[in-house]
A and B are shown apart, each in its own frame.
Chain A
């Protein structure tokens, strides 16, 4: 009986979004009378930071500072339609819709500014600081604040835009079975080192080294945050979490945080994150979906590391001490 060490590797690719009945998201953008911009979505920020990313995308597209953008995700009854926040799709789908809506709003904004400055709208550009300038003659300028006031009270224009991004449903080819279930894939690779106690079946994860390829990181600190937390959650899925840890039937399943196991701050593995940025062709500013996918490669990596350590293949999650001991017993009797 001994503590045995093992190392496992796993690589994944992960589709951004889904292929059910078509995968659409809509966005609306409009300016307030003082030149702030509202993004209206039904896409939900459930803590991953969607509001921040959508504000960045809208601001970059219109050409204003991010703090001039307010994102409203208030109500799925009244807002523009979104399929939802899941399948790592939020940034990609909603982001593309926001770009389209913001472009249309920017065009109206430039048209109003053109009337005020008595120039052609195509001769205008934004400075990113809240002003619109004549290209090549930046001394001729107007603030977006004044453009919005003019649009509202003088010109009778609505500085607004509509965005709709749809990935149509892909059906398999009847002859070959070929299809295109996703247009955009993120990738990841994890190496996990574990110790397995072959007497108790307990697994300790020592290190987790992850490489994530996520398209362009629109907010690098938030990406890092998501990946560190996701890596932890992957270990949690591999070793601890299940709604049905007990048998013989569901009635013995966990009902609360006493019984639904998650590793706490004392159970952390040494974690390393490397981000590779390979901008996607159809993502907003090259982004893919780093959300859900970042909690996946740790699971097979840990399973492989357990196999490397004690020579048993556990193919049911989570990899509990009991499952390891049963497998070791079966292995010994063969």
Chain B
């Protein structure tokens, strides 16, 4: 079967690859491009571990076909740190012990980033709503919620 050429930017870098038709973006990123930050938890859109940001919107990469991403701007958790400095969300997750086994963490951070991009000063309910599509088995969620609220506060302090 003919491979399909796809071009997009991943964390700001140009990528051009040939994919088999039907390849999910998750498999394309992990197996072909080598960005393993999105995790394959359920491969059916129920756990949120594979979440990435496509053109500013939170998307499940396990349910997104790579061939539909031509021309898209894709952000993953591995692209958040700048020059070795962690993104405020990554810092907040570390400081709050908001990760244990870490498998859900990249998806949580993607969901939180989209929230803060649109709602810089979220309420606790906003955070809970934003994370409600992401499953965590270890933490009991509370440290994650606190980390996102902390990151929001540190962002607003930096902006002030």
**Quick one: given A256-B42, A266-B129, are A47 and B100 in contact (CB under 8 Å)?**
yes
Residue of B46, B100, B127, B145 ringed by the most chain A CB atoms within 10 A: B100
Q: Does the CB pair A256–B128 fall under 8 Å? A: no
Q: Collect the chain B residues with CB atoms within 8 Å of residue A271's CB.
A: 140, 142
Q: What 0/1 pattern do residues 194 to 225 of A give for CB contact below 8 A with B?
A: 00000000000000000000000000011011
Q: Does the CB pair A268–B142 fall under 8 Å? A: yes
Q: In the assembled complex, how far is the CB of residue B13 from the closest CB belonging to chain A, in whole angstroms?
A: 31
Q: Collect the chain B residues with CB atoms within 8 Å of residue A221's CB.
A: 97
Q: Considering the chains assembled together, what is the distance between the CA atoms of A257 and B47 in angstroms?
A: 7
Q: Considering the chains assembled together, what is the distance between the CA atoms of A231 and B139 in angstroms?
A: 9
Q: What 0/1 pattern do residues 28 to 47 of B give for CB contact below 8 A with A?
A: 00000000000001101011
Q: What 0/1 pattern do residues 100 to 137 of B give for CB contact below 8 A with A?
A: 11110000000000000000000000011101101101
**Quick one: given A225-B139, A257-B47, are A266 and B128 in contact (CB under 8 Å)?**
yes
Q: Considering the chains assembled together, what is the distance between the CA atoms of A221 and B135 in angstroms?
A: 22
A48 at the interface (CB under 8 A from B): yes
Q: What 0/1 pattern do residues 31 to 61 of A give for CB contact below 8 A with B?
A: 0000000000000001111000000000000
Q: Collect the chain B residues with CB atoms within 8 Å of residue A48's CB.
A: 100-101
Q: Considering the chains assembled together, what is the distance between the CA atoms of A257 and B137 in angstroms?
A: 12
Q: Does the CB pair B131–A265 fall under 8 Å? A: yes
Q: Considering the chains assembled together, what is the distance between the CA atoms of A233 and B101 in angstroms?
A: 15
Q: Which residues 73-101 in B have Cβ within 8 Å of A in the complex?
A: 97, 100-101
Q: Does the CB pair B100–A49 fall under 8 Å? A: yes
**Quick one: given A47-B138, A233-B140, A271-B140, are A265 and B97 in contact (CB under 8 Å)?**
no
Q: Collect the chain A residues with CB atoms within 8 Å of residue B144's CB.
A: 265
Q: In the assembled complex, how far is the CB of residue B74 from the closest CB belonging to chain A, in whole angstroms?
A: 24
Q: Collect the chain A residues with CB atoms within 8 Å of residue B138's CB.
A: 47, 229
Q: Does the CB pair A265–B101 fall under 8 Å? A: no
Q: In the assembled complex, how far is the CB of residue A58 from the closest CB belonging to chain B, in whole angstroms?
A: 22
Q: Considering the chains assembled together, what is the distance between the CA atoms of A232 and B137 in angstroms?
A: 9
B141 at the interface (CB under 8 A from A): yes
A262 at the interface (CB under 8 A from B): yes
Q: Which residue of B is nearest A225, CB measured? A: B97
**Quick one: given A47-B138, A228-B140, A229-B138, are A264 and B100 in contact (CB under 8 Å)?**
no
**Quick one: given A257-B42, A257-B47, A262-B135, are A268 and B140 in contact (CB under 8 Å)?**
yes
Q: Considering the chains assembled together, what is the distance between the CA atoms of A258 and B48 in angstroms?
A: 12
Q: In the assembled complex, how far is the CB of residue A2 from the closest CB belonging to chain B, in whole angstroms?
A: 27
Q: Collect the chain A residues with CB atoms within 8 Å of residue B42's CB.
A: 256-257
Q: Considering the chains assembled together, what is the distance between the CA atoms of A6 and B41 in angstroms?
A: 37
**Quick one: given A49-B100, A221-B97, are A265 and B141 in contact (CB under 8 Å)?**
yes
Q: Considering the chains assembled together, what is the distance between the CA atoms of A271 and B101 in angstroms?
A: 21
Q: Considering the chains assembled together, what is the distance between the CA atoms of A265 and B141 in angstroms?
A: 6
Q: Which residue of B is nearest A255, CB measured? A: B44
Q: Considering the chains assembled together, what is the distance between the CA atoms of A268 and B145 in angstroms?
A: 11
**Quick one: given A46-B101, A47-B101, A225-B97, are A257 and B135 in contact (CB under 8 Å)?**
yes
**Quick one: given A47-B100, A224-B97, A225-B97, are A264 and B44 in contact (CB under 8 Å)?**
no
List 11 additional A-B contacts (Cβ < 8 Å) besides A232-B142, A258-B44, A264-B135.
A47-B100, A47-B138, A224-B97, A228-B142, A229-B139, A230-B140, A233-B137, A256-B44, A256-B46, A257-B41, A257-B42
Which residues of A does B touch, CB under 8 Å?
46-49, 221-222, 224-226, 228-233, 256-258, 262, 264-266, 268, 271
- 29 A-B contact pairs sorted by A residue (CB < 8 Å): A46-B101, A47-B102, A47-B138, A48-B100, A48-B101, A49-B100, A221-B97, A225-B100, A228-B139, A228-B142, A229-B100, A229-B138, A229-B140, A232-B141, A232-B142, A233-B137, A257-B41, A257-B42, A257-B44, A257-B47, A258-B46, A264-B135, A265-B131, A265-B134, A265-B141, A266-B128, A266-B129, A268-B140, A268-B142
